[in-house]
Amino acid sequence: MSDDSKKRMSDRETALPEDVSGFDRRNALKVLGAAAAIQAVPKNWKKPFTSMGSAPAFAQGTELGTGDLQVTLTWDTDFSDVDLYVLEPDSTWVWYGNTVGPTATLDFDDTEGFGPENIFVPPGSAASGTYSAAIDMYSLDGITTDTNCTIRVRTFVDTPGEQSQTFNRVLTPADESGGTLGFWVADIAFPSGNITNRTGTVGLPRQPRGPKSS
């Protein structure tokens, strides 16, 4: 890097607030340019709240709801929106358009990349029957690469009867659906808490195409 480039980068860095923990990375890239933003934003910087970075949510200090059931989704592309859905035993979908069901709640919906997204059922609240988890590539925002998704499913979290499985799904640019076509991940049976892999596609509840309200 030339001395002139280093000086310009230094000048730009001084314009940043001292505490950049809440500084939006997109704005940093726009204002500073990619190279300067990488230098200016600390390595331990995290996206605020619903955009917690590329590490899986369960490897971070994120406060996510847990209980009889916890389904957590993360993925590896920025500026993309992958959505998590859970179908309750009474056929109610819990998703960004219906965040609270009879027993389950979506407490994190990330629209800017990486996740986490999290749906949980509080302790002692699971209904008898089968819960089913699915994911959807809502929007890629111009991303042309595949997106690797990690979905961890836990039952009876932090109890002697806890069960846990992690599933991986790859979504391609052709899978972008705007919230209409999902991919099954797992079935979760209660009262046993058993978790089984599920494959195939599923039609999802819909809202008018356009920016999500969340």
Confidence at residue 119, expressed as pLDDT on a 0 to 100 scale: 95
Instruction: Kindly state whether residue 150 falls inside one of the protein's structural domains.
Output: yes
Instruction: Kindly state whether residue 132 falls inside one of the protein's structural domains.
Output: yes
169 residue type, one letter: R
Instruction: Kindly state whether residue 27 falls inside one of the protein's structural domains.
Output: yes
Confidence at residue 30, expressed as pLDDT on a 0 to 100 scale: 37
pTM of this structure:
0.71
Instruction: Kindly state whether residue 133 falls inside one of the protein's structural domains.
Output: yes
Per-residue pLDDT, averaged over 88-114, amounts to 91
Q: Dump pLDDT digits (tens) for 16-27.
A: 344 433 444 434
Please check whether residues 8 and 114 belong to one and the same domain: no
CA-to-CA distance for 153 and 118, rounded, in angstroms? 10
Please check whether residues 36 and 61 belong to one and the same domain: no
In percent, the amount of the chain with pLDDT more than 70 equals 67
Please check whether residues 195 and 153 belong to one and the same domain: yes
Please check whether residues 32 and 66 belong to one and the same domain: no
- Reported as a pLDDT band with limits 50, 70 and 90, residue 142 is confident
**Cα Rg for the chain, rounded, in angstroms?**
19
Name the residue among 80, 71, 105, 97 with its Cα closest to residue 205. Answer: 97
Instruction: Kindly state whether residue 193 falls inside one of the protein's structural domains.
Output: yes
Confidence at residue 16, expressed as pLDDT on a 0 to 100 scale: 39
When divided into structural domains, the chain yields a total of: 2
Please check whether residues 93 and 7 belong to one and the same domain: no
Please check whether residues 18 and 99 belong to one and the same domain: no
Instruction: Kindly state whether residue 163 falls inside one of the protein's structural domains.
Output: yes
CATH number at residue 152: 2.60.60
Please check whether residues 129 and 195 belong to one and the same domain: yes
Please check whether residues 71 and 114 belong to one and the same domain: yes
Per-residue pLDDT, averaged over 7-12, amounts to 40
Per-residue pLDDT, averaged over 170-178, amounts to 89
- Reported as a pLDDT band with limits 50, 70 and 90, residue 115 is confident
- How many residues are there in the chain? 214
Any idea which of 31-45, 60-74, 172-186 has the lowest mean pLDDT? Answer: 31-45
Instruction: Kindly state whether residue 79 falls inside one of the protein's structural domains.
Output: yes
Please check whether residues 22 and 76 belong to one and the same domain: no
Please check whether residues 71 and 117 belong to one and the same domain: yes
Q: Is the pLDDT of residue 182 over 80?
A: yes
Per-residue pLDDT, averaged over 19-48, amounts to 39
The residues, ordered by sequence, that sit 6+ positions from 89 with a Cβ below 8 Å of its Cβ are 127, 128, 129, 130, 131, 190
The residues, ordered by sequence, that sit 6+ positions from 25 with a Cβ below 8 Å of its Cβ are 37, 41, 45, 47
Per-residue pLDDT, averaged over 97-124, amounts to 90
Q: Which domain holds residue 24?
A: 3-40
Any idea which of 32-36, 71-75, 165-169 has the lowest mean pLDDT? Answer: 32-36
Please check whether residues 30 and 86 belong to one and the same domain: no
Please check whether residues 132 and 183 belong to one and the same domain: yes
Q: Dump pLDDT digits (tens) for 67-93.
A: 999 999 998 888 888 999 999 999 999
Instruction: Kindly state whether residue 213 falls inside one of the protein's structural domains.
Output: no
Q: Is the pLDDT of residue 44 over 50?
A: no
> 192 versus 39: which is more confidently predicted?
192
